[in-house]
Amino acid sequence: MVQKIDEITEHVNQASTFIPSLLHELEQVIVGQKYLTERLLLGLLTGEHILVEGVPGLAKTTAVKTLAQSVKADFKRIQFTPDLLPADLFGTQIYQPKTGEFDIKKGPLFSNIILADEINRAPAKVQSALLEAMQERQITIAGTTFKLEEPFMVIATQNPIEQEGTYPLPEAQVDRFMLKLHIDYPTRAEEKLIMQRMSTSSNVYQVKQVVSLDEILQARKVFDEIYIDDNLQDYIIDLVAATRDPEGHQLSSLKGMIQFGASPRASIFLNRAAKAYAFLQRRGYVVPHDIKSIGMDVLRHRIMLSYEAEAENVTADDILKKIFDTLEVP
């Protein structure tokens, strides 16, 4: 087994040579926000989608655009508004008078990396249309089905729910995002550096392409090989099960706090995200720290709090921290 893990680590080292240079490119444009940039790479590696929550002006759009430029991917930004229609995402048929036929004009979803900006400002019909394309990775226009090219990744941003004029995403749809990220304000030192960088219009860094889409797709094959021990798989199952039955996992203090626990999709995504995190560290095996590092982002949007928890101002992060602190690490 040790020899096998050494072989996997060797494959990972060969396939992950682009990671330092890719992170370097992102750091040339984005000040701080290491948490965000690392999670964007996890999404790119796994081919899964990410939901980002934070107030405007925290470089969410800039980070996604820089990532797309670094991998020379086709990038589209869609600004979600209350009057947006599904056809604005998918595309539509256009009548050509000269030929008397209808041509299909493809919409912005036919790209590699999609930034769905302020997804919670669009009505449920549009949200459902986008999430269906995310799940099926195909789009049907006028009876013709088109497969979406890999890599296909949606990064959706939303304003905090307290803001007016928003349509909260239903829990069943939020569950399709592998990660939900909470982006916070930069530190004082980081904000000063941002201010200095942006003080002149000439000081614009030209992002270089440091990795090809083929290298990303090849890295995905290698990261699937990463070894995760049975004990760690059981640990993942225990973490997810604890959100459904806290009392059965010595968490009686959480009784009545959780209305619905995480679905089996949480176990699948936590397993994949832990492997991808190990790949970012250029390791051929998963350690408990990988699971704990990424666990909050995978689970925070998959548990529904009870009225009792909301009344006591208990958040999903508070409950998950209690679970991670209580459950024994193998």
| Span 184-197, pLDDT tens digits | 888 888 888 878 77
Would the pTM of this model clear 0.85, i.e. be above it?
A: yes
On the question of pLDDT at 20 being above 60, the answer is yes
Quote the mean pLDDT of the chain: 86
Domain 18-219 fold: Rossmann fold (3.40.50)
Average pLDDT of span 199-215? 77
Q: Which CATH superfamily is domain 227-326 in?
A: Magnesium chelatase subunit I, C-Terminal domain (1.10.8.80)
Tokens coding 148: 């979406």
Has residue 56 got a pLDDT over 80?
no
Question: Across residues 219-239, what is the average pLDDT?
Answer: 91
Q: Is the confidence at residue 66, as pLDDT, over 70?
A: yes
Torsions phi, psi for 118 (to 5 deg): 55, 55
Looking up tokens 């704990």 gives 292
Say if residue 163's pLDDT is above 90. no
- Percentage of the chain with pLDDT > 90? 23
What confidence tier does 267 reach under pLDDT thresholds 50, 70, 90? very high
The predicted structure's pLDDT at residue 216: 87
Dist CA 171 CA 316 (whole Å): 13
Position 100 pLDDT exceeds 90 = no
- Amino acid 224: pLDDT: 86
Residue spans of the domains in the chain: they are 18-219, 227-326
As a whole number of angstroms, the distance between CA 46 and CA 178 comes to 9
- The confidence score (pLDDT) of residue 297 equals 95
Q: How confident is the model at residue 287 (pLDDT cuts 50, 70, 90)?
A: very high
- The yes-or-no verdict on residue 162 having pLDDT over 60 is no
201 has pLDDT over 70:
no
Rounded to whole angstroms, how far apart are CA atoms 65 and 47?
17
pLDDT for residue 271 = 95
